[in-house]
Chains A and B, each alone.
Chain A
């Protein structure tokens, strides 16, 4: 745990390594920490497993990492708006795990909450159920879905205070609050940096206890 540390863009680059599993917050890049994605590009880390709602766009969000062929495996709910993703998957270059959006969100939540998984009716009778256990509870069938965890999570905040407490804005929160709980190393990029306590305990959405590093400077 320890104290939250402020880091430069250059120091952020040093946090990424080959073969890592990385969670990237955001929904169609709304709420994605773009400067931190740039840091992954700059690190040159390859064979990455990326967990993100979608594949972003060419030159934006997770799309940047597909452009540079740094991703070996992508776990996402929707990739239709990025042609590079489809092309790499069709060419056998990319391992693609398509997961229902609600299941993906809950898998990440479980990962961060120390739970062994959850039972969902979503995916019963579909290919999503292939290879998974079906559990019957009070006559209803559910799929057993397992938790997801990562080595690093990239979080996009609206405000972060010096203690790592976070507030989000608009629809940018999406996957960010769960991902902040589910990785060994959590890095936050924010539009606004404020002094410790300035958000106020009643309005903190992600407590600083989950955060390891704050990227200096604002967002792109």
Chain B
């Protein structure tokens, strides 16, 4: 399972460009920076109010004052900056975040995403997710292709939406899909699976790219 997550994170890392400002969701997306090419340097945005997120604070004196968006202790790069939540979401909604990588419960062929609530079961709240998927220039969903065999990539989301038509790309252990006006285009596949197997694991109809490639990490 961990290998699967590492594989997905490594593929997502190739989508990020030198200089990008990126916001990572909790879980799998936080693995992405460890797979960046050494030539690529990105700045992480933490929606609770800073740019330049890193794992550990530089001094014990600073440590109690800095947490990441999950509320856990964190640090800030020397080139970073702290700001208020209002400024943080001006950065997010205003299109100043190049990419966001996040997990999801469901995604569909129209780029709709549902990842904040399972009515009657799990009501944690959306936090900053609704603003992030609307505001980030590129929205990459990084997740396992199915939920223990149950479809997650659908014709139409059945759970309440986080946002409508905002997802640009889906990366799973089976392949890489672009969301287009025509539907989901499978542009890379993991050679451990056949295209037929990938389609079977996907409720939405996949359009196979003319230049379909093997998924490279």
- CB of A80 within 8 A of CB of B124, answer yes
Contacting pair B66 A170 (CB below 8 A): yes
Does chain A have a CB within 8 A of B193? no
A174 is an interface residue with CB less than 8 A from chain B: yes
Contact A126 B48 (CB under 8 A): no
Per-residue A-contact encoding for B52-75, CB less than 8 Å = 1, 0 else: 000000000010111100110010
User: Judging by beta carbons under 8 Å apart, are B124 and A79 in contact?
Assistant: yes
Among A15-39, those with CB < 8 Å from B are 27-30
The B81-95 residues at the A interface (CB cut-off 8 A) are: 82-86, 88-89, 92-93
Hey, which chain B residues are within 8 Å of A198, CB to CB? none
Report the tally of A-B residue pairs with Cβ distances under 8 A: 140
User: In the complex, how many residues of chain B place their beta carbon closer than 8 angstroms to a beta carbon of chain A?
Assistant: 42
- B161 at interface by CB-CB < 8 Å: yes
Q: Which residue in A89, A125, A169, A175 is a CB contact (below 8 Å) of B164?
A: A125
Q: Which one of A81, A121, A173 lies within 8 Å of B134 (CB-CB)?
A: A121
- The number of residues on chain A lying at the interface, defined by a beta carbon within 8 Å of a beta carbon of chain B, is 46
Interface of A is mostly: mixed
Neighbouring B residues of A176 by C-beta, 8 Å: 84
Q: Decide yes or no whether A158 CB sits under 8 A from chain B.
A: yes
5 A-B pairs within 8 Å (CB atoms) are namely A27-B48, A171-B50, A171-B74, A173-B84, A174-B49
Q: Which 8 A-B pairs have the closest CB atoms?
A: A80-B124, A170-B65, A28-B71, A102-B89, A125-B164, A102-B131, A105-B85, A78-B125
